[in-house]
Structure 1
Amino acid sequence: MFETTSKNIDYPYIIQLEEINKLQQSEKVCNNSVDRLSKNILEEGKWTTVIPVEASTGWVMDGNHRLNAARSLRLKYVPVVKLHYEDLRVSIFWWGTDRPYPLDKIRYEASHVALLSFKTTRHIFSPLLPKVNILLSTLTG
């Protein structure tokens, strides 16, 4: 298993490879954006962005387009950071506003709603999530 810890922060993020089939898409996506992103990732030949997921459910906090791009590229793994919504490094807002998104609402939706509407939530991570540089061949299994 690939695992690394980002440096120079008080509470390091742990990056690990996770099987795509263990992740749960949380919001609807724009298929054109997924196609463009897939093409860009394939042209680069590497994966550079971790996907933050809720640790106990695999619910994608941010990166649903990226998850779908990984599926279209037939990758088996993606790099993730597993977090909990109570983590002080995670803030969640209604998309396009500064209004906090209620934790009890997101917990309910994670277990009862198939997919949220496109751009329902916006997540802020402080410190910023680390970047990675992983060859796609590493992620194909």
Structure 2
Amino acid sequence: MRLTLEKLPALKPTEVHSATRLDELEKKVSTEGFWTTPIWIDETTKIVIDGHHRLELAKRLNLNIVPCFNFNYKKELSVYSRDENKIISHSDVIHAGLSKTPLGYKKTRHEFHGNIFETYIPLSILRFVDE
């Protein structure tokens, strides 16, 4: 896993988001003025693994780039369906992102068995930096 700054158009969502949750997140982030939680993405395909609300928030705030944790998805993360009657694979998630057919709202759960850290990047920097 490595931390990078990614341009928004490169990121491909795999799930849909909740408008209510997005509004709550906007209030929190706008009040703090910092981006603290990187979006999780696959390093090869740039599909979003975790952070769909943050991706939509970045679009709403007109950010140019966002911090992302890049993972070797199949090697570094485990994936589970939140629906106990369904099995989901890494390939299912990758297909959802590449084909632009989201899996739905909160359909997957991912686990990483390493250390995750927060970032404290001012929103103003993410608006104006064009990597």
Q: With structure 1 as the length reference, what TM-score do the two structures score?
A: 0.81
SS of 1:124's equivalent?
strand
Question: Which residue does the alignment assign to 2:96?
Answer: 109
Which residue is equivalent to 1:39? 27
Greater helix fraction, Structure 1 or Structure 2: 2
1:123 aligns with 2:114: no
In the TM superposition, structure 1's runs of 4+ consecutive aligned residues that sit over 3 Å from their partners are none
Q: Gapped runs of 5+ residues in structure 1?
A: 1-12
Q: 1:49 aligns with which of 11, 32, 37?
A: 37
Matches of 1:116 and 1:105 in 2, distance apart?
A: 9
Task: Provide the identity percentage.
Answer: 29
Say if 2:3 and 2:69, in contact at 8 Å, map to a contact too: yes
Partner of 1:138: 125
- Specify the SS of the correspondent of 1:40: helix
- In structure 2, runs of 5+ residues without a counterpart are none
Cα RMSD for the two superposed structures: 1.9
Query: Which one of 14, 22, 28 corresponds to residue 26 of structure 1?
Result: 14
Q: Aligned with 2:98: secondary structure? A: helix
Amino acid at match of 2:89: P
For 1:58, the equivalent position in structure 2 comes to: 46
| DSSP 3-state at the match of 1:115 | coil
**Contact 2:2-2:71 at 8 Å conserved across structures:** no
Q: Secondary structure at the match of 1:57?
A: coil
Residue 114 of structure 1 deviates from its aligned partner by 1.9
Report if aligned partners of 1:92, 1:100 keep a CA contact under 8 Å in 2.
no
How far off its partner does 1:113 sit? 4.5
TM-score by length of 2: 0.87
Partners of 2:14 and 2:92 lie apart in 1 by: 13
1:25 CA drift (Å) = 1.4
Measure how far apart 1:96 and its partner are.
Answer: 5.4
